[in-house]
Amino acid sequence: MPESSKPPLSLSPGQWSFIRWNTIGQLEALEIHHPLFEATLFLQGAHLTRFIPKSDENWLWMSPTARFEPGRAIRGGIPICWPWFGDPARNAPEVRKRIKTQGPHGLGRTAVWKLEDVCESAHEVEISLSLDANQDFDNVWHGHALALLTFNFSVRGCQLALTTTNLGSEPLAFSQALHTYLPTSDIKGTRILGLGFAHYIDTLKNWEYCTQDGPVYFDGETDRIYENGDPLTVVTPATSRKLTAIGSDSTVVWNPGPKKALKLSDFPDTAWQTMLCVETANAASDYRVLNSGQSHTLGVLIGRG
Ligand SMILES: O=P(O)(O)OC[C@H]1O[C@@H](O)[C@H](O)[C@@H](O)[C@@H]1O
């Protein structure tokens, strides 16, 4: 192989101390076994399904009935919704006009991302994946954008930074979310701090505008887009996690409740009692517009609360 076409040294598994390839179901994943933490990251969807600090449990909720198949969204972990969030029809006209499918949550959730870089040390592991959304995706979306997603794992927690660059010649409007599933031992004993007084869209009340009064509690199906990107604390009966966002002025809070749970794919009927989603987003009116060549980074650090 000529020197110039060799993959960078950092991408050669022989050079890795803490990372190995694995096939889970029908999908390829990177398994990280570091002395301080473990993690599992799928190339399909750039989907993180496990982050386990030493002597701890998975910080991410994973459906026990999740399936790992090409083209199928993985239920749990952190799906990447990009370059649109949610139902295309509920996006701003500028975002919507590029979408050619009715499928929710964007093409990035099931596309196979490319491994770009790996960096390991005694303290942390950093892995970058990219997705070039070009004419190959023309059947679902019109545009040309590059997504570069960097995961950083350390004792502080795990951090995701998703940078979108507009490679097209026209302005690019897009929405997105880092759709984090968190576990809880009891959804009714779970609350989110940091959204008091925030305005939100209640998608279950015909997208009515409401104002949050105190912590967010869960009492049945919940599906809201908060106009707020401030740091949040998610308190469950056993854990406390802090989510610190960058580049975000919107947060989606979701729990399907008992009825919607019955309709969800790869989701046990009673699983709504033991999970919640807190999604770091650029959703609803917080969609972003990039001129040609411009970039935007959306990120979240999930740490101890
Ligand atoms: O079933 P999906 O496509 O993974 O979506 C799950 C949920 O994702 C949330 O982000 C949305 O706010 C919900 O409306 C949606 O039901």
Longest dimension (CA), the chain: 63
pLDDT at residue 305 tops 60: yes
The predicted model gives 88-108 an average pLDDT of: 98
Question: Residues 61, 268: contact at Cβ < 8 Å?
Answer: no
- The model's pLDDT over 16-26, given as tens digits with 9 standing for 90+, comes to 999 999 999 99
Q: What's the DSSP call for residue 62?
A: B
Does ligand 1 come within 6 angstroms of the Cβ of 104?
A: yes
pLDDT at residue 1 tops 50: no
Find, among 68, 65, 41, the residue nearest to 52 by Cα.
Answer: 41
For the chain, give percent helix, strand, coil, nearest 5.
15, 45, 40
Residues 6+ apart with CB under 8 A from 190: 184, 217, 218, 234, 235, 236, 237, 276
Grade residue 180 by pLDDT with cuts at 50, 70 and 90. very high
Does ligand 1 come within 6 angstroms of the Cβ of 267?
A: no
Ligand 1 atom 14, closest CA: 223
Does ligand 1 come within 6 angstroms of the Cβ of 144?
A: no
C-alpha–C-alpha distance, residues 214 and 84, integer Å: 30
pTM metric for this prediction: 0.97
pLDDT at residue 52 tops 60: yes
Whether the link from the prior residue into 237 is cis, omega within 30° of 0, is no
Residue 13: per-residue pLDDT: 82
Question: How many C-beta neighbours within 10 Å does residue 267 have?
Answer: 20
- The model's pLDDT over 258-294, given as tens digits with 9 standing for 90+, comes to 999 999 999 999 999 999 999 999 999 999 999 999 9
In this prediction the ipTM stands at 0.98
C-alpha–C-alpha distance, residues 174 and 239, integer Å: 34
Does ligand 1 come within 6 angstroms of the Cβ of 43?
A: no
Mutate to test the pocket of ligand 1, among 82, 263, 266, 277 (most ligand atoms within 8 A of CB): 277
pLDDT at residue 161 tops 70: yes
Residue 12: per-residue pLDDT: 82
Does ligand 1 come within 6 angstroms of the Cβ of 105?
A: yes
C-alpha–C-alpha distance, residues 178 and 171, integer Å: 23
pLDDT at residue 162 tops 60: yes
Grade residue 5 by pLDDT with cuts at 50, 70 and 90. low
Task: State the DSSP H helix or E strand holding residue 95, giving kind and residue range, or none if neither.
Answer: helix 93-96
The strand pairing partners of 232, in sequence order, are 243
C-alpha–C-alpha distance, residues 301 and 202, integer Å: 26
Centre of ligand 1 to C-alpha 47, Å, is 16
Does ligand 1 come within 6 angstroms of the Cβ of 286?
A: no
Centre of ligand 1 to C-alpha 122, Å, is 37
Does ligand 1 come within 6 angstroms of the Cβ of 47?
A: no
Mutate to test the pocket of ligand 1, among 63, 223, 225, 282 (most ligand atoms within 8 A of CB): 223
pLDDT at residue 4 tops 90: no
Does ligand 1 come within 6 angstroms of the Cβ of 115?
A: no
Atom of ligand 1 nearest to the CA of 179: 10
Does ligand 1 come within 6 angstroms of the Cβ of 45?
A: no
The predicted model gives 227-244 an average pLDDT of: 98
Does ligand 1 come within 6 angstroms of the Cβ of 92?
A: no
- The model's pLDDT over 115-145, given as tens digits with 9 standing for 90+, comes to 999 999 999 999 999 999 999 999 999 999 9
Kindly report the backbone phi and psi dihedral angles of residue 95, in degrees, each rounded to the nearest multiple of 5, phi listed first: -75, -45
Atom of ligand 1 nearest to the CA of 79: 4
Ligand 1 atom 4, closest CA: 75
* Pairing of the two strands 176-183 and 80-81: antiparallel
Atom of ligand 1 nearest to the CA of 73: 4
Residue 217: per-residue pLDDT: 98
The predicted model gives 220-248 an average pLDDT of: 98
The predicted model gives 101-109 an average pLDDT of: 98
Find, among 128, 157, 234, 227, the residue nearest to 190 by Cα.
Answer: 234
Residue 6: per-residue pLDDT: 59
Centre of ligand 1 to C-alpha 223, Å, is 8
Ligand 1 atom 3, closest CA: 104
How much of the chain, in percent, has pLDDT values that exceed 90?
A: 95
Residue 7: per-residue pLDDT: 65
C-alpha–C-alpha distance, residues 104 and 76, integer Å: 16
- Considering only the top CATH level, what class is 3-304? mainly beta
Centre of ligand 1 to C-alpha 110, Å, is 15
pLDDT at residue 215 tops 90: yes
The predicted model gives 222-230 an average pLDDT of: 98
